[in-house]
């Protein structure tokens, strides 16, 4: 039996990618060099508004932030699809950088970013497993609790 493609897996998960979010400042949403696709920082935006704004561990729970990480990954996939024409061209998720807005006492950054990592593994299977960094920040653009950068290898 043939393995499902990323596009088929999204459909099976009931996930419809939104239109790619517009940049909030002076940058472009993606850059392709060779076979590497760099997706600029993505926020957990729904219809242009940040889901669960604030600091994780204060006004946002770690569980809410993990949902936001998944949403930001969904937005990143939307950008990747726009860049490549189809997610089926992605050979591998190479690296995920997750930034979590939280006070200095919060230490659950890896669990928050798991919301994105687990989702990417659901969509791409073994090819979705990636190198990663989960960082804390005192604030993020638009008062988002999470921001993601993703590097893909494409064919």
Domain ranges of the chain: 35-154
Pick among 3.30.1330.40, 3.40.120.10, 3.30.465.10, 3.30.1490.190: CATH of 35-154? 3.30.1330.40
Report the chain's mean pLDDT, rounded to a whole number.
96
In this structure, what is the dihedral angle of CA atoms 2, 115, 47, 56, given to the nearest 10 degrees? 180
Predicted structure pTM score:
0.96
Say whether pLDDT at 5 is over 90.
yes
Sign (positive or negative) of CA dihedral 81, 150, 21, 69: positive
d(CA 13, CA 143): 29
pLDDT band at 3 (very low <50, low <70, confident <90, very high): confident
pLDDT tens-digit map of 36-82: 999 999 999 999 999 999 999 999 999 999 999 999 999 999 999 99
């Amino acid at each position: 039996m043939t393995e499902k493609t990323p596009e088929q897996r999204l459909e099976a998960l009931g996930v419809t990618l939104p239109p790619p979010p517009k940049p909030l400042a002076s940058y472009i949403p993606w850059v392709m060099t060779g076979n590497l696709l760099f997706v600029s920082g993505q926020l957990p935006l729904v219809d242009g508004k940040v889901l669960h704004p604030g600091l994780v561990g204060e006004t946002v729970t770690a569980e809410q932030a993990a949902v936001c990480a998944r949403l930001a990954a969904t937005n990143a996939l939307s950008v990747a699809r726009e860049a490549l024409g189809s997610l089926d061209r992605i050979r591998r998720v190479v690296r995920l950088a997750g930034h979590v807005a939280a006070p200095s006492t919060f230490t659950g950054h890896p669990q928050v970013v798991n919301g994105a990592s687990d989702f990417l593994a659901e969509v791409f299977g073994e090819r979705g497993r990636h190198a990663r960094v989960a960082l804390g920040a005192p604030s993020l653009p638009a008062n988002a609790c999470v921001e993601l950068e993703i590097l893909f290898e494409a064919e």
